[in-house]
Amino acid sequence: VFDERFALPLIGRSGWLGLVQDVFAVLVIVGVEMAVYFRKVRRDERFTGSHLEEADFILLMILGIMITLIGLNAVKIAQGVNESPAAWTPASTLVSNLFKSMTAGWQSFFHGLLLWSHIALILGFLVYIPYSKHLHILTSFVNVFFTKTKPMGKLAALKIDLEAVEAGGSLGAATVRDLSQKQILDTFTCTECGRCQDVCPAWNTGKPLSPKLLIMNLRDHVFEQGEAILDARAEGGEPEAVPLNPDVVEDEVVWDCVTCGACMQECPVNIEHVDHIVDMRRNLVMGESRFPQEAGALLRNMESAKNPWGVQQSERADWADGLGVRTLEDGRAPEYLYWVGCAASFDDRAKRIAQATARLLQRAGVPFAILGPRELCTGDPARRMGHEYLFQQLAEENVETLNGVGARKVIVNCPHCFNTIRNEYPDYGGRYEVIHHTQLLSRLLDEGRLRPTAEVQALVTYHDPCYLGRHNGVYDEPRRVLDRIPGVRQVEMHRHRERGFCCGAGGARMWMEERIGKRINNERTDEAASTGADVIGVACPYCMVMLDDGAKAKGGDLEVKDVAQVVAESVGIDDRRARTRAAAESPPDAP
């Protein structure tokens, strides 16, 4: 017998439980209807490759649980035995009209039918979850908890144990046993929503890489191999190793990635796709010496000349000829050390960024120096390509040099250098305040040390570099700098800030050909041109090169300029004069 004196205030005969049940049941039913519309009517491309039959079955089970819940409450209202007052259960009360005209016998029949159907669906769903893609219900909160808290662009250092490799170990992920616990958890957590696929530059331009399908394939392989691995270990042995590449994931899929992190940004359950890809690249490069032909030239250049261009280190400071820039040959560094980077040292287009930056620092009275030939490549292209050993060699040499000169504040143009020195060099003893040149320019403008006065009549669309924006959260400073330039108007591309689209250079892709689908840089250039802008604003020498190539391929008057170049024009330091002088001094082209 129920005694109201012992009823709890939030459950039982109070209206709260019934209200919560009704509201959430109706919302879930609406959600299922939306899912059916997206998958069956609109047919969003992001669901390509998902296990739709399994998803349909799960949706039907969820729908059944909600319908039986409302139906059960409705029958109880008709019988007058519902625990919650009718006023608090509007949906169930509305449905109860179907049962009120029935006899008590039929009401009892439907009461039992709906009750046991509801229980059976719930228990069946609980049993089915571990064997379905809905395993993420159990693993997602654990996966989110173990997500790395460092900036997205930081890769975990690989401990290189050559003795272990000689004994049969691997460098990177050769088989499923080489995946970390977080990577295995990632595979269990995929919801197959396709958001990662929807934003992937490779997939959007017709490449085979789909971050979603990559994780799904690894998950299926883990399920296939997991039991055999456990059984073999229980017997004191090891099962036959199945290589991840190309048996589970095609080599082309691994090399298509630009490591932009768009997939990780979109994932609702914090899957770290890039880490899987880089670990597989590590095995392919260091374990199997299997990589695209052009990548071999890059690695040879970095090993011999210490830079991707293969240019002699003695030419690293040639960009600064006649500018009065101090090259630090000995002694301590001044307040700021200007880390120029390989692109701005050796690529003619990117050199203009370094020249504009140096002139602006001089105009603002900022004390700085460069390392010149002592500056080596940070190793970012080697690490993203998978050659961790080469990266670590370069990192250790650079950290030794930077610590030797007492560097405290390091200015960089290249977001890849910014990310590597700021986030990854601390693992090797290099801890510095790393400042991107757009951040410093924003500060100098705020302090009045730079005064842009000349109008620069241009409609600028700013392109967010992946390793500056998404990987390190620098979005506002470049835009604030452009806002301070008289005459400059800004217009945003459709994909910008956190959802910006890669230029195609990241992940060492700048040195690899795109033989499948549309070139990523052309896709981004077309998007920039669609805004009606005159200028694509960049804050990265890689983006400068890639988008300039895209603009030339497209034709027309679309220009690509670094933020520093725009500021230089407005403060009266126009690097176009330097370009004119260089062109006059260069020999004419051979016939």
Nearest to 422 by CA among 127, 16, 150, 179: 150
Rounded to an integer, what is the distance from CA 110 to the centroid of its chain? 52
Q: Is the per-residue pLDDT at 576 higher than 70?
A: no
State the number of CA atoms in the 13 A half-sphere of 233 facing the CB.
7
- Strands 409-412, 458-462: pairing is unpaired
Q: Is the per-residue pLDDT at 510 higher than 60?
A: yes
Q: Is the per-residue pLDDT at 382 higher than 70?
A: yes
Structure confidence at residue 168 as a pLDDT band (50, 70, 90): low
Structure confidence at residue 146 as a pLDDT band (50, 70, 90): very high
Secondary structure element (H or E) that encloses residue 68, with its range: helix 52-79
Which range (18-27, 76-85, 174-183, 430-439) has the least confidence?
76-85
Per DSSP, the three-state class of 229 is helix
Contacts 24+ apart (CB under 8 A), 104-108: 104/79, 107/75, 107/78, 107/79, 108/79
Higher pLDDT, 106 or 1: 106
Quote the DSSP letter at residue 571. Answer: T
- Strands 535-538, 458-462: pairing is parallel
Nearest to 432 by CA among 335, 315, 546: 335
The pLDDT score that the predictor gives to residue 232 is 76
Give the position of tokens 């719930």: 122
Q: Is 551 exposed, middle or buried (0-12, 13-18, 19+ CB in 10 A)?
A: buried
Nearest to 200 by CA among 517, 538, 574, 556: 517
Higher pLDDT, 139 or 3: 139
Quote the DSSP letter at residue 83. Answer: S
Per DSSP, the three-state class of 312 is coil
Instruction: Write out the two tokens for 109.
Output: 């029949």
Cα–Cα dist 567/446, whole Å: 13
Q: Is the per-residue pLDDT at 587 higher than 60?
A: no
Q: Is the per-residue pLDDT at 173 higher than 50?
A: yes
- Are the CB atoms for 92 and 70 separated by under 8 Å? yes
Count of CB atoms situated within 10 Å of the CB of 327: 14
Q: Is 507 exposed, middle or buried (0-12, 13-18, 19+ CB in 10 A)?
A: buried
- Are the CB atoms for 57 and 64 separated by under 8 Å? no
Nearest to 194 by CA among 90, 45, 299, 304: 45
The pLDDT score that the predictor gives to residue 234 is 74
- Work out the mean pLDDT of the chain and round it to a whole number: 88
- Are the CB atoms for 421 and 432 separated by under 8 Å? yes
Nearest to 508 by CA among 302, 205, 246, 312: 302
Provide the whole-model pTM.
0.84
Quote the DSSP letter at residue 288. Answer: T
Q: How does 171-195 read in b/e, with b if 16+ C-beta sit within 10 Å?
A: bbbbbbebbeebbbbbbbbbbbbbb
Average pLDDT for 218-241: 80
Region of 195 (left: φ > 0; alpha: ψ -120 to 50; beta: rest) is alpha
CA distances from 564 to 213, 249, 286, 578 (A): 40, 42, 38, 15
Instruction: Write out the two tokens for 573.
Output: 């330091």
Region of 194 (left: φ > 0; alpha: ψ -120 to 50; beta: rest) is left
The pLDDT score that the predictor gives to residue 422 is 96
Q: Is the per-residue pLDDT at 7 higher than 50?
A: no
Give the position of tokens 């992937």: 200
The pLDDT score that the predictor gives to residue 21 is 86
Instruction: Write out the two tokens for 525.
Output: 């250039």
Structure confidence at residue 327 as a pLDDT band (50, 70, 90): very high
Q: Is the per-residue pLDDT at 489 higher than 50?
A: yes
Quote the DSSP letter at residue 410. Answer: E
- Are the CB atoms for 479 and 500 separated by under 8 Å? no
Residue type, 5: R
What digits encode the pLDDT tens for the residues 55-96? Answer: 788 888 889 999 999 998 888 888 888 777 777 888 888 888
Apex CA 105: angle with CA 100 and CA 106, to 5°? 55
Cα–Cα dist 122/134, whole Å: 14
What digits encode the pLDDT tens for the residues 332-378? Answer: 899 999 999 999 999 999 999 999 999 999 999 999 999 999 999 99
- Are the CB atoms for 152 and 474 separated by under 8 Å? no
